[in-house]
Amino acid sequence: MRRSRTLFGAALAVYAFLYVPLVLVAVGSFNAARLGSSWTGFTLDWYRRLFADERMLAAAGNSLVIALAATAISVVLGTLAGLGLARYRSRALGFLVLTPMAVPDILTGVSLLLFFVLIHLTLGMASVVLAHVSFCISFVALVVRATMANLDPHLVEAARDLGASPGAAYRRIVVPVIAPGIVAGGLLAFTLSIDDFVITFFTAGVGTTTLPLQIYSMIKVSITPEVNAVSTLLMLVTLSLVVLAARLAPSALRSGE
């Protein structure tokens, strides 16, 4: 395809559109001024205040615990699903895995709220973890399935012909191939869980405020550069996790999503 100046310029403009707002948020976290976009001086004050803010720290702690638990569960189930999809091409499972990803968050949040109330599960850490698992399984499954494409099926057949048990065949041949996919999937699930807002909004209970929920209430009630600070830190965390995941399973991320 031919290159063109206007095209390149337009693309650059779109990239700028994507990044400039985020950069401004990061820059604003160091601005000594409380309101407004006039720069009055460099300061780390907002970060200091952030780490002294008990509610923020509690929210960060909750987010971390929930993300770890949700990731652990969805990695196990997601890997099984990924393997199941790759080997058995079950259409039912395919439907179950793909559809939650297509449904808008508000529907997932509301239906899970109704579900938890019906089964008398008190809204709390458990309900949020289960809610996060519901959407994380699909991502892990798809990533693992994608890495399975790198596996030469003949290898496993050969191993079985040579007398290896299914367990050994998996351990020696399949797992090393999908291991990067599992880790990448886990990292992505972790990121999704940390970042989730809408679904958590409807399924959180007493004392289970997560970081996004805390940020939301700060955006609505009182905006200070402390929000910029926590946003910047959050961006850095997810950035590193995603770059790491991209290194581990580039093929999985490239499959159009």
From the number of C-beta atoms within 10 Å of its C-beta (0-12, 13-18, 19+), residue 20 rates as exposed
Which 40-59 residues touch another protein, going by CB under 8 A?
Answer: none
At a CB cut-off of 8 Å and minimum separation 6, what does 112 contact? 127, 130, 131, 134, 199, 202, 203
Smallest gap, in angstroms, from Cβ of residue 56 to another protein?
Answer: 13
- What is the CB neighbour count within 10 angstroms for residue 126? 16
Question: For residue 190, what is the enclosing H or E element?
Answer: helix 175-195
> Which of 5, 41, 104, 163 is in the footprint of another protein by CB under 8 A?
104
From the number of C-beta atoms within 10 Å of its C-beta (0-12, 13-18, 19+), residue 97 rates as buried
Which 172-231 residues touch another protein, going by CB under 8 A?
Answer: 191, 194-195, 197-198, 202, 205-207, 209, 212, 215-217, 219-223, 227-228, 231
Residue 103 binds to another protein (criterion: CB under 8 A): yes
> Which of 113, 178, 189, 248 is in the footprint of another protein by CB under 8 A?
113
Smallest gap, in angstroms, from Cβ of residue 32 to another protein?
Answer: 15
Interatomic CA distance for residues 61 and 9, integer angstroms: 43
Residue 150 binds to another protein (criterion: CB under 8 A): no
Amino acid, single-letter form, for residue 120: H
Interatomic CA distance for residues 250 and 236, integer angstroms: 20
- Paired residues of 31 in beta bridges: 42
Number of residues that bind another protein (CB under 8 A): 110
Smallest gap, in angstroms, from Cβ of residue 44 to another protein?
Answer: 19
Interatomic CA distance for residues 46 and 29, integer angstroms: 7
> Which of 43, 45, 49, 111 is in the footprint of another protein by CB under 8 A?
111
* Closer CB to another protein, 50 or 123, in the complex: 123
Which 5-44 residues touch another protein, going by CB under 8 A?
Answer: 7-8, 10-11, 13-15, 17-19, 21-22, 24-25, 28, 35-37
Amino acid, single-letter form, for residue 256: G
Smallest gap, in angstroms, from Cβ of residue 54 to another protein?
Answer: 10
